[in-house]
Structure 1
C-alpha cells in the first residue's frame, strides 16, 4: 500500500484519495484527446508558435550536425537550385578527397551525415531541378566503393545509405520525360563497362522496367558496343569474361522486357559458351507456349568435358553435379503442357525417391485418381525408410509428419545416429517425445554423449536440458525398455565425465 506524503505544518489536509486509481477507459475521450495533443503533428506544432519552433530548431542544429545540414539546405532552397547544389557539391568533394578510416565509434555520425546528404539531394534539390539531383546522386554513388572501404560497416548500415541513393536515382530517372530517362540510361552504359560489378549495373537493371519501349533498341545497341575487342583489352581473361557476362545479363533483361525469347537464348549462349542455363531458357520458352523446345533444352546432356572457369562460377553457371530441383520442375511443366501426364508423374516420383522432396510427393499424390493416394503414400513411406541417407529420411518422416515411421527408423538404425547431427536429431527427439518416448530418449542420449565426448562447453546447457528431458521420459518407460535404464545411464555419465564441472553445475540448476 502506497504511503501518503505528510502535509506541511499549517496546510489544509488533502482530500482523501480513492482507494483504487480509476483505469483509463475508452469512454474518456477528453483524456485521450489530451494525450494526442503531445504528439507532434502539423496541428499540434502550429500551437507552439514561430518563436518556440525556431528555438527548438536552433537547439537541435547545435546538437545534431546532420540535422543542421538539412536545415541549411532548406534555407538554401529559398535561393534556388544552385545554392542547394553548392552545399551538396562541397560535401561530395570532401568525401572524394577523404582517405581516413572510420571506425565503429565514428560510424554512426558518419552514416548520419551521408544519409543527410542524400536527403538534401532528394528533398531539396530534386523539386527544384531533377536533372541536377540525378547528377549529384550519380556522383555520390560513384564514390561508394571508396567510402565503404574506409568504414567499419560489418552490419551494412552505411551500405544501406547507398542503396537508398540508388533507389532514389531510379525513382527520379523513371519519372522524367521518356526521352530524358532514355538519355540517362544510355549515360550509365560507359560506367557499367568500366566497373561491371559496381552499383550502376544494378541501377540500370532496376530502371529498365520504367523505360519507354522506344528506348530499348538504342540501349541494347549501346550495351552491345560497350565491350572492347579482346585485343584492345589488357585485363585478365576471367575479368573480361565477367564484364562481358554482366553486360549480357542486362541485355537479357531487355530481351525479357521485349518478350524476345530467341534474343534471350542467343545471349545466354554468348554469356555461357557451352554451359547455358537450360532452366532459364526453358522458363522463357514455356512462357511463350513453346513447350516442346523447352523440353528439348532441359533434356540436353550437360557438358562434362570442360571444367567450369572462374568467369563461369562468378557469372553463376549451374553446377552439373548438383541435383537440380528447378530443372525437374521445369521438365514436369513442359510434359504437362504437352499432355504427357504419365511421364510427368513418373518424373515426380523419381525426384521424390532420389531426394525425399515433400512438395514433389504432395504434387504426385494430388495428381493420382481417387482412392489411389493412400497406397501410394504407404509406398512413399517405405521408400523413405529404405533411403540410403538416414538423416534425410528421418527429416522427411518427422516433417510429413509420419511419427510411427520415424520411430521405426530410429529403432532400425539405432547404431547410425550421431549427436553432431543435432540439426536433425533435436527436432526429431522433440517430435517423438509424446507418442514414442523410447525413441526420443535414444536420440537425446546420442546428443548428450556427443557433447560431452567432444568437451563442447558452449553446448553444456543444451546437454543439461536433454538430460532433464530424459529424466522425464524415464518415468513413462516400461522397465527394461531402454538399456541402460536412466539411473544407470546417469551413473555412467558421472564415471566418464565427472570432471566436466561446467556441465554438472548446469544439471543441478535444471
Structure 2
C-alpha cells in the first residue's frame, strides 16, 4: 500500500483539480519542456486538429531555424526536442495515428538542419531522433488501410531528405506492416527513383516483406561492395533450403566492414574482423545441413586453432558424440598452452574458465609478460587472486613495473592499488623460485623508482629520502 505522501495516481487525484493545476502552472513557469507537454495536453482536450496545429508550429520553427545552439544549452535543447516527440506520440498519437505518423516523420526529417546548428559530439541530440524513429512502427500499427496505402509516398520523401540513415532504417521496419499492393507500388516507385543505396536497402526490406528472396539477392548484388553482407544473404538462403547457393554466399569475401582487436589481439599484433567467426558458424551449419558433418567440425576446430576463441570450440564440443568431449577439451588446452600467442592463450583459459591452467601458463612464462598489455593481464590477475596468488602476483608486478618503468604518471593510482594487492597476496604465498619475496621486490622498487614521488605519495610504503 502506498504511503500517504508518496506520488501515486490516487494520492495526486485526492489533492483536487485546483491544487494540481497550481502545481502544474508553477512548474511550467520555469520548465520549458514541461510547459510544452502541458500545452499539448490542453490542446489534446480540444481534439486532434488542435494538437496537430500546435505541433506544426513547433516543426515549422525547427525547419526554419538557422541560429547555432550554444553547447551549454544542448541538454535543454535535447529535452525540448524530446518533449515535441512525446507530444506527437502520446497526445496526437492517441487522438489520430495518421496525423501523428505524418508529424513524426516530418520531425525526423529536421535532423540534418538541426545537426548543422549544434555540436552533438556526445550524441544526445542524435539519440532523440533515433528514439523518435523507434516510435514510428508503433503508430503505423494503428493506421487504417487507406492510411497505410498512402504511407510509402511520405517515407520516400523522407529518404530523399535523409543524411544520417534514419529514414532507411524506419522504412525497413515499417515495410512488414504494409499490405501487399502498397509494397508492390512502393517497390516500383523506388526502382524508378534510381540506384541510390538508400533506395536499394529499402527495396530489399520490401522484398523480404513480400517473401521475394530472388529479388533480395539481386538487389544485394547491386549494392556497393562495402555495403553488401554475404552472411546475411547466406543465412536467408540456408533458411530457404537453398544450400549450395548459401555456401557460395557464405564463402564470398566480405569487403570493408569494421575491423577490431581485443586486448589479447593487440598484445599479439593481430586484428580480427567481427564477421570472421560468424562466417565459420554459418558455413558449418550449412555444411551440416548438406550432411557433411565432418567438414563442419573440421572448420570449427580450425577456427579455434587459429584464434583461440572459445566460441568455435564450444560449438565443436556440442556436436561431438558420447565420451569424446573430455579428450577434445584436453587437446584444446594443450594446444593453447603450446601456442606462441601467449596472451590469447591466457585470455582463452580465463574465459573458458580453467584458472588452474591459466596460472600454470603465467608461471611458465613468468619473465615474459609485458605490462603494457593491461587488458588481458589485469583480467587474468583478478581471476587468479583468490586461488592462485603467486600467479596473480606475477601479473600485478608486470603491470606495476611497466607503469613505473615508463613513468606513466596518469596510471600511478592504478600502480598504488597493484602494490597494495601485492602486499595482501604475499601473505598467502610461501617461498617460491618463480619470483622474489614481496619485501625484496619493494626494496628493488625503492632503489629503481625512489624519485617518483607522485607514485609513492599514493602508497603506504614511502621511500626513504
Question: Per the shorter chain, which TM-score range?
Answer: 0.7 to 0.9
Contact 1:174–1:211 under 8 Å retained in 2: no
**Aligned-residue offset at 1:285:** 1.0
2:295 is equivalent to residue 343 of structure 1: yes
1:49 aligns with 2:1: no
Which is worse superposed, 272-281 or 356-365? 272-281
Q: Which runs of 4+ in 1 moved over 6 A?
A: none
Q: Out of 418, 443, 446, which is 1:491 matched to?
A: 443
Report deviation, 1:325.
0.8
Aligned residues of 1:190 and 1:226 also touching (Cα < 8 A): no
Encode CA deviations 1:482-503: one digit per residue, 9 max, x unaligned. 4433222211111111111121
Partners of 2:435 and 2:22 lie apart in 1 by 79
- Structure 1 residue 384, shift from structure 2 partner: 0.6
Cα gap change, 1:190 to 1:71, in 2 (>3 Å): closer
Cα deviation digits, residues 406-449 of structure 1 (max 9, x gap):
23322333343100111111122233334433332222211111
Say whether residues 1:178 and 2:135 are aligned partners: no
Q: Which residue of 2 aligns with 1:111?
A: 78
Matched, 1:208 2:203: no
Distance in 2 (alpha carbons) for counterparts of 1:283 and 1:289: 10
Task: Say whether residues 1:245 and 2:192 are aligned partners.
Answer: no
| Equivalent pair of 2:98/2:147 in contact (CA under 8 Å) | no
Structure 1 Cα separation of the partners of residues 321 and 80 of structure 2: 65
- Alignment TM-score, normalising by the size of structure 2: 0.87
Question: Could you tell me how far apart the structure 1 residues matched to 2:421 and 2:376 are?
Answer: 17
Contact 1:429 1:443 in 2 (8 A): yes
Alpha-carbon spacing, 1:255–1:509, altered in 2? closer, same or farther (3 Å): farther
Name the structure 2 match of 1:370: 322
- The alignment status of 1:122 with 2:74, answered yes or no, reads no
Q: TM-score, normalised by structure 1?
A: 0.80
Residue equivalent to 1:296? 248
1:79-134 deviation digits (Å, cap 9, x = unpaired): 44444333223222222232223234323333333233233333443444443333
Which residue is 1:18 aligned to? none
> Which residue in the other structure is 1:39 paired with?
7
Deviation for aligned residue 1:273? 5.8
SS in 2 for 1:48: coil
Pick closer, same or farther for the CA change 1:46–1:413 going to 2, 3 Å.
closer
* Structure 2 counterparts to residues 405-444 of structure 1, below 5 A: 405-444=357-396
Unaligned runs of 5+ in 1: 1-31, 229-243, 315-319
CA separation in 1, counterparts of 2:341 and 2:175?
Answer: 46
2:168–2:201 contact (8 Å) kept in structure 1: no
Q: Which runs of 5+ in 2 are unaligned?
A: 259-270
Q: Please point out which of 118, 122, 128 is paired with 1:151.
A: 118
**Higher RCO, 1 or 2 (CA under 8 Å, sep at least 6)?**
2
Match of 2:349 among 388, 393, 397: 397
1:280 to 232, 236, 252: 232
Aligned to 1:67: 34
Change in CA separation of 1:71 and 1:434 when aligned onto 2, cut-off 3 Å: closer
Show the counterpart of 1:220.
Answer: 187
CA deviation after TM superposition for structure 1 residue 390, in Å: 1.0
